[in-house]
Amino acid sequence: MDDVVLENMRRHIVKAFLYYIKLNEKDSRDYLRPCPSWDGVRKMKHRGCLLWLPQPEGESLEHRTGLSALEQFATFDVPYAKWQKSLPIYDLERLLGPDHLATLRELPLFRENSLLMLGKRRSIPTQLYLWKIQGYLATFPELDEFDAISKRFFDRTEMNAKSAKISTPHQR
């Protein structure tokens, strides 16, 4: 069931991106805009979130964005901004998977750019989908460690309770 939910969210996001590109071709509405550099983000209006695409193998990742990898919950702090000071950065390779990323890479906007801005009000539902899928795919090593510790604690408590029942009968 989890694969069905994940695939549905991925399809919805790709469909929205294709719709935004179609709107840009028809009416010059730029919901998806390429960012030439991290400094260029500061100058852009109608900021929403950043979309990061690692370059295909053989190309240098650091060449375009200065990044070789992106942490799970990355944000970009826009200096000297009054609004939208901290923007989430979504790793499209991690969120969409190789099949959907290949679909997007067929388009020049996604093929030629490694950093895109998704903005304006109409894109808010898509930004929420990106946020949901990021949370859906998130891994929390701290919770795994917590689960292991709590399991040991409860196992030990259960063992102590069993041994206490055996060694101390309540007879009068």
Domain that holds residue 145: 140-172
17 & 93 share domain: yes
43 & 103 share domain: yes
What are the structure tokens assigned to 72, written together? 């799970």
56 & 127 share domain: yes
pLDDT for the residue 105: 94
Is residue 39 within 8 Å of residue 78, measured between CB atoms? no
pLDDT for the residue 61: 43
6 & 47 share domain: yes
CB atoms under 10 Å from CB of 60, counted, come to 8
Name the burial class of residue 50, with classes exposed (0-12), middle (13-18) and buried (19+) by CB atoms within 10 angstroms of its CB: buried
Coil, strand or helix at 78: coil
pLDDT for the residue 9: 94
Looking at the 3D structure of the chain, how many domains does it have?
Answer: 2
133 & 161 share domain: no
pLDDT for the residue 116: 92
97 & 117 share domain: yes
Which parts of the chain have pLDDT scores under 70?
1, 56-72, 77, 79-84, 140-150, 153-154, 156-172
Q: How many CA atoms lie within 13 A of 62 on its CB side?
A: 1
Torsion sign over Cα 115, 121, 122, 128: positive
pLDDT for the residue 57: 61
150 & 127 share domain: no
39 & 52 share domain: yes
d(CA 65, CA 54): 9
pLDDT for the residue 64: 45
Q: What is the pTM of this model?
A: 0.71
129 & 156 share domain: no
Q: What's at 113, amino acid-wise?
A: N
98 & 164 share domain: no
58 & 115 share domain: yes
15 & 33 share domain: yes
- Across the chain, how many H-helices and E-strands are there? 7, 5
d(CA 52, CA 115): 5
